[in-house]
A and B are shown apart, each in its own frame.
Chain A
């Protein structure tokens, strides 16, 4: 997921939530997960499980929506008809992913409208990386290839999780991501193997996006709060560092083979441990941007909120057709 396995939440309230669960039901629930079975919306589940999943799936959904903005801006300026078609299709997919994810979160009891409200009032978070601007076409190419690659690492991990509706949505999403990845790679290859000017443009995009990309998977396991219970419940399927390592392992060689330089002198694979070593990302900047002080936070939310407000009359007109029909949570 775009949220980078990073569920933005102080964990202090977790123990309170867990305290008064029925131990027998909890044991059955945990046994089901241990057997590898999925949890379905109507099954009993601990309050903490429900709460964390809503937060995680919702943030994932928001990231798809907000993530469509920095790429969407390049549709009209994409070089050539074919690239326009492809980027339009990709952006449509991303917005579709958000709808699939909102649908999965809704089965847990939070309405889509409430989620959208929490996004535009700044209460819910989305992936930090989309608070950075796309100055050139190459920035858009970087996102399509490498941010999506990072998202795929997370999404494939989460697809093995325990909540049925989320897993089913992710299966669908991952199938579409393979197009995003190939398309993005194709775009980057084209620039990186092109004229000196194209190469330079691509290199500059890599320079701009490398730090946010390292932030993408969330703080190092050394400093992030441990979430053993969420691992046991198969809500969190891989640690931030595991995802980051996997990403580096798969994509650094692919970036290097295009003759591009990654702006970190310390980046190398330790042949003994098999682990990637790199300069510790600036986690203070990461926190600052999450808390609203990034280059595009304000614009992203303003655009989303404007769309919501200026589209309200359309929804009202259409909704008049359904007057009296009550919203209920969807089923699976």
Chain B
């Protein structure tokens, strides 16, 4: 049998048959992981903000992926929250700069199934095109009640265009003193920083030598 012959010794060690790729097996069962939304706290005492997603089988792995993806570079992370995408309740998004809180009234709670009194976290979209930012927490018996309470607590002069509401109990939080050593080594990784590759002097010297 002949194998794909590569310049890369690692690829040669894979022993990939050279006829590989001529046909494709039917794709079996989907094996895609679910997604988690990742929120990053850029600095201590600053609000968490949405940064993106990761695919993961469990929330612990979601955190590990999130750490690799969103805190590779120094000084921009002091905490991460991960939340399963399906655990986030989303309000409609408003048009023409209207405040979403103007659409929230007491009736919103009617018919909502009441559960235990629980803590919820609220994220607001304050500028279209930007990230959702953590507004704060509140207690409620249902996501609908949380919306109503959010209006009383967070509605302000500036309109919010969209709200995300999450039960606090489902969030994996890696933050605070307890976890601070996770981020400690980030500033040491200077080789990941553009600043570590200064070369102007070398070019200048080279040009002078060329002239001489």
Contacts and interface: CB of A to CB of B under 8 A. Distances in A.
B46 to A, nearest CB: 17
A176 B73 contact: yes
Label chain A's interface by main secondary structure: helix
B20 A305 contact: yes
Interface string A119-137: 0111000000000011100
B106 interface: no
B38 to A, nearest CB: 10
B194 A179 contact: yes
B161 to A, nearest CB: 9
Contacts of A315: 31, 33
A287 interface: no
Contact of A318 (B14, B33, B196): B33
For this complex, into which size category does the number of interface residues on chain B fall? 35 or more
Contacts of A299: 4, 6, 11
A186 B199 contact: yes
Interface string B168-212: 000000000000000000000101111111010011011100100
A331 B37 contact: yes
B108 interface: no
A189 interface: yes
Interface string B115-128: 00000000000001
A321 interface: yes
Contact of B4 (A164, A298, A322): A298
Interface stretch (A11-19, A89-97, A210-218, A271-279): A89-97
A328 B8 CA distance: 38
A332 B8 CA distance: 38
B32 interface: yes
A112 interface: yes
A245 interface: no
Interface string B32-60: 11110100000000000011111101100
Contacts of B7: 73, 133-135
B21 A298 contact: yes
Contact of B206 (A112, A258, A305, A318): A258
Interface in A273-332: 298-299, 301-303, 305-306, 312, 315-316, 318-319, 321-322, 325-332
Given A100-B52, A103-B52, A135-B7, A113 B72 contact: no
B90 interface: yes
A117 B27 contact: yes
Contact of A112 (B27, B32, B69): B32
A1 interface: no
Interface string A253-281: 00001110000000000000000000000
A322 B191 contact: no
Nearest to A86: B191
A122 B23 CA distance: 11
Contacts of A172: 51-52
Contacts of B37: 330-332
A38 B93 contact: no
A112 B194 contact: no
A312 B35 CA distance: 18
14 contacts: A42-B92, A42-B93, A103-B35, A103-B52, A169-B52, A182-B194, A182-B195, A302-B20, A305-B21, A306-B14, A316-B31, A321-B58, A331-B53, A331-B90
Given A43-B93, A316-B31, A331-B37, 15 more contacts: A99-B55, A103-B52, A122-B21, A175-B73, A179-B192, A185-B199, A192-B206, A193-B206, A257-B203, A259-B210, A299-B4, A318-B33, A321-B58, A327-B32, A329-B85
